[in-house]
Structure 1
Amino acid sequence: MPASHLLSADCLDAAVTAAHTAAAILQTHALHRDDLEVSFKMRNDLVSQADRDAEQAIIDILHTRTPAVGIMAEESGGERGTLATWCIDPLDGTTNFLSGIPHYAVSIALIGHAGCQPDGRTPLPEDTPLIGVIYDPNREELFASLYGLGAWLNGRRIYCSKTPSLDQSVVATGFPFRDFSFEAQYMPGLVDAIHQTRGIRRLGSAALDLAWTACGRYDGYWEMGLAPWDVAAGTALVRAAGGVCEDIRHQHPWPEDGYVYAGNPHTAPALDALIGKHL
């Protein structure tokens, strides 16, 4: 696929088609949740046949529609592409899914690599999420974005909130659940946020936390110890919706190491300052 096609409607449509197909598989498995084969990748990190089947469906569609683009997926791994790489989480919120909690999503992102020209003219100075697609099958909400063009929810343009300060904000987070090595850094920031915001929410899907930040339901979000596929599509969405989504440790051009903070141009810097002093 030529670099100038990375931001094409065809590329976005491939991701949307893949997300809908995977979600249909998940919802079919959800009808027989007790029969699913579930295994442990590590403590509190589960994978089921639903994850695997949904992921394979996404890979098949993206490989067919965009054969020159690399694919990195949560369960099966993959290879980085030369110009760009799909970053896939077939089921973000597996614990919710397996518990019958209707809050989980399919997450698909396209990462353009430094030097490629996604618009056919301007080379990217660094790796950048170009496309974000997050589909919530329980609410039938499709979040989608294209780099430089905007973000949408079910076809309607969305923007981050306009809340001017952290003390007026409702923010989302995720507690340490599989890697507890950063607990001592995370907990003081949580305590500060409890006292310095309007409220904290923890619903168990990083992809939806970022999607909800992109559409203004949350004023900000932060979490640590995630994986790139947890945050790639959400990063694209928040940025395309006029917000800020960055690496907490300010080491990477996007939060590929899973240390992420996000919000609007007012709340994100305040959240960064609140968290950063404890790192």
Structure 2
Amino acid sequence: MPSSQFHLSEYLNTAISAARTGAAILQAHSLRRSDLVIDKKARNDLVSQADRDAEAAIIEQLQENTPQFGIVAEETGGQASGAATWYIDPLDGTTNFLHGIPHYAVSIALVAHEGTYVQGDQPLEVDTPVIGVVYDPNREELFTAMYGVGAWLNEHRLGCSQTESLSEALLATGLPFRDFSFAEQYMPTLNAALPLTRGVRRMGSAALDLAWVACGRYDGYWEMGLAPWDVAAGTLIVREAGGDAQDILHAEPWPRSGFIYAGNANVAPALHEMLRPHVRNR
């Protein structure tokens, strides 16, 4: 696909519109949480009618505006196809949402596939997130990013923090809550981080953790056992804000396996060095 036919700005607007539509549905459901039908996909893996309704509305908009792209969504699945694929998490922070904790977001990313011409006349060498949108409806904070152009919070350009060392860094993480098979790898990383850093926070939304790294609220972040739709948008937002977001094992071009670390240009490499001895090949 020639770059002249790959319209990043149009795709960003499409994603923003879809995210706002999904968020409006979530907020309507939040007013009657006690009436929600909640299913358990697995232990501590919850899905509600709010997730399903928001996802259906998001998918409808994306398919209408970009029928040429594949779609992979948390509740309905799908597969990568075409020159690029949308990755959708209609409600990142479901447990927070269901308990009335106002910390959750809609996350939408477009990942362009290897060989796609996104900018100029050089095709991408690896699959790469090129559009990222994370929308927090409770704070009305819209985090967006476009490949090679930058990242924004509402109308303000984003930049990661300038913190220089782990000893001065505030980190975010996510504790194992659903899949405990990697807990023996995760717990040593938490034990290592506690005395080395200024503090560690666990807020319950990977998409917002990454967005907050991008805007400088956190200096770094790591987590294990996530899904690709959890991290696709946030990965690009961090990268376009001048930080780094990678697979912990550096085995994939973006952390689609869900083992991720991110941080500003100083903290990210130090964080990776802290994690590396404890994480083995999966």
Three-state SS of the structure 1 residue aligned to 2:47 is strand
The total of aligned residue pairs comes to 279
**Distance between the aligned counterparts of 1:119 and 1:151, measured in 2?**
17
In the alignment, structure 1 segments of 5+ residues that lack a partner are none
- The answer as to whether partners of 1:84 and 1:113 remain within 8 angstroms in 2 is yes
**Distance between the aligned counterparts of 2:10 and 2:256, measured in 1?**
25
User: Where do 1:96-107 residues align within 5 Å?
Assistant: 96-107=96-107
Using the size of structure 2 for normalisation, the TM-score is 0.97
Partner of 1:271: 271
Partner of 2:230: 230
**Distance between the aligned counterparts of 2:118 and 2:222, measured in 1?**
29
- The answer as to whether partners of 2:71 and 2:80 remain within 8 angstroms in 1 is yes
**Distance between the aligned counterparts of 2:157 and 2:244, measured in 1?**
17
Using the TM superposition, give the Cα deviation of residue 135 of structure 1 relative to its aligned residue in structure 2, in angstroms. 0.1
Partner of 2:202: 202
Partner of 1:87: 87
Three-state SS of the structure 2 residue aligned to 1:133 is strand
**Distance between the aligned counterparts of 2:118 and 2:30, measured in 1?**
38
Using the size of structure 1 for normalisation, the TM-score is 0.98
User: Where do 1:1-279 residues align within 5 Å?
Assistant: 3-279=3-279
Using the TM superposition, give the Cα deviation of residue 251 of structure 1 relative to its aligned residue in structure 2, in angstroms. 1.0
The change in CA–CA distance for 1:7 and 1:262 in structure 2 (over 3 A counts) is farther
The change in CA–CA distance for 1:2 and 1:121 in structure 2 (over 3 A counts) is closer
- The answer as to whether partners of 2:133 and 2:145 remain within 8 angstroms in 1 is yes
The change in CA–CA distance for 1:89 and 1:4 in structure 2 (over 3 A counts) is farther
Task: Tell me which stretches of 4 or more aligned residues in structure 1 moved more than 2 Å.
Answer: 1-8
Three-state SS of the structure 1 residue aligned to 2:129 is strand
In the alignment, structure 2 segments of 5+ residues that lack a partner are none
Using the TM superposition, give the Cα deviation of residue 6 of structure 1 relative to its aligned residue in structure 2, in angstroms. 3.5
- The answer as to whether partners of 1:7 and 1:130 remain within 8 angstroms in 2 is no
Code of the residue aligned with 1:92 in structure 2: it is D
The change in CA–CA distance for 1:228 and 1:4 in structure 2 (over 3 A counts) is farther
Code of the residue aligned with 1:50 in structure 2: it is A
- Residues 22-56 of structure 1, C-alpha deviation per residue, up to 9 Å, x if partnerless? 00000000001000000011110100000000001
CA RMSD of aligned residues (A): 1.0
Code of the residue aligned with 1:58 in structure 2: it is I
Fraction of identical pairs, as percent:
63
